Structure 1
Amino acid sequence: MTKISLYLDEHVQLALAESLRARGVDVLTTQEAGNICFSDVEQLIFAKEKKRTLFSYNKRHFAKIHYEWITLNQSHTGIILSDQLAVGIVLRRFMKLYFSLPADDMKNRLEYLSNWK
């Protein structure tokens, strides 16, 4: 089972990236990739090219993009969306998802961390 590799958009706390890395999660941030000025669509394209699941607090925009892409039969490597909560809460929810879903199962999938309490 191949584990999820994450791409965190620019709104996600760097402390979350560090906490995930401390638990063995492969994480790349928008800042590290030098993609701060990318649009949401460009962020998702980048994540797909790097075979990473995109993680964002921007629920409205990325949910809309997901459904548009599915309608157009355009694939992506998965989107995980969350409310902006304390790092510990987001971390705990993500780790439940991480140990339950392999990377292959995230293809074209939209997951809300609120479902992983």
Structure 2
Amino acid sequence: MPLRLYMDMDSLRPAVIRGLRANGTDVLTSAEAGHQRLSDERQLEFATAEGRAIYTANLVDFTRLHAAWMRAGRHHHGIIVRINQQLSVGDQIRALGHIGSAMPAGLEDVLVYLENW
């Protein structure tokens, strides 16, 4: 299953989006979906309903959401968190590509730290 991403407002960098799409990654942004003002939980619910992993730079809230969802028996299609706010465009694109290649079955219920890739 190819990586399908939903990028929240914390992760929107046009060059990253262009690079991912040029590499064939299916990317939907919160702006394109008209969801800029949704809460973090609603963003995760939307990504899950769309069968997408969410890509965010919001470490604290999404780590907390992942733990809460796992405790409640809820499922999501993956949370990818970028910790380093200065990570280059190229490094983000490469790491996201590696994640997609290394986890072809998908990221269901997985919390991934981008810098580990």
Deviations along 1:63-90, one digit per CA (max 9) or x if unpaired, are 1000000001011111011122111111
Letter in 2 for 1:87: V
Deviations along 1:87-109, one digit per CA (max 9) or x if unpaired, are 1111111111111112x441111
TM-score relative to the length of structure 2:
0.93
Identify the range of structure 1 (29-38 vs 104-113) with the bigger mean alpha-carbon deviation: 104-113
Q: Where do 4+ consecutive residues of structure 1 move more than 4 Å? A: none
Where does 1:33-44 land on structure 2 (aligned, <5 Å)?
Answer: 33-44=33-44
Distance 2:95 2:109 in 1: 20
Distance 2:106 2:89 in 1: 25
- % of aligned pairs identical? 36
Structure 1 unaligned residues grouped into runs of 5+: none
TM-score relative to the length of structure 1:
0.93
Residues matched between the structures, number:
114
- Give the C-alpha shift of residue 38 in structure 1: 0.4
Secondary structure of 2:60 counterpart: helix
Match of 1:107 in 2: 108
Secondary structure of 1:31 counterpart: coil
Where does 1:13-52 land on structure 2 (aligned, <5 Å)?
Answer: 13-52=13-52
Where does 1:1-117 land on structure 2 (aligned, <5 Å)?
Answer: 2-12=1-11, 13-83=13-83, 84=85, 85-102=87-104, 104-116=105-117
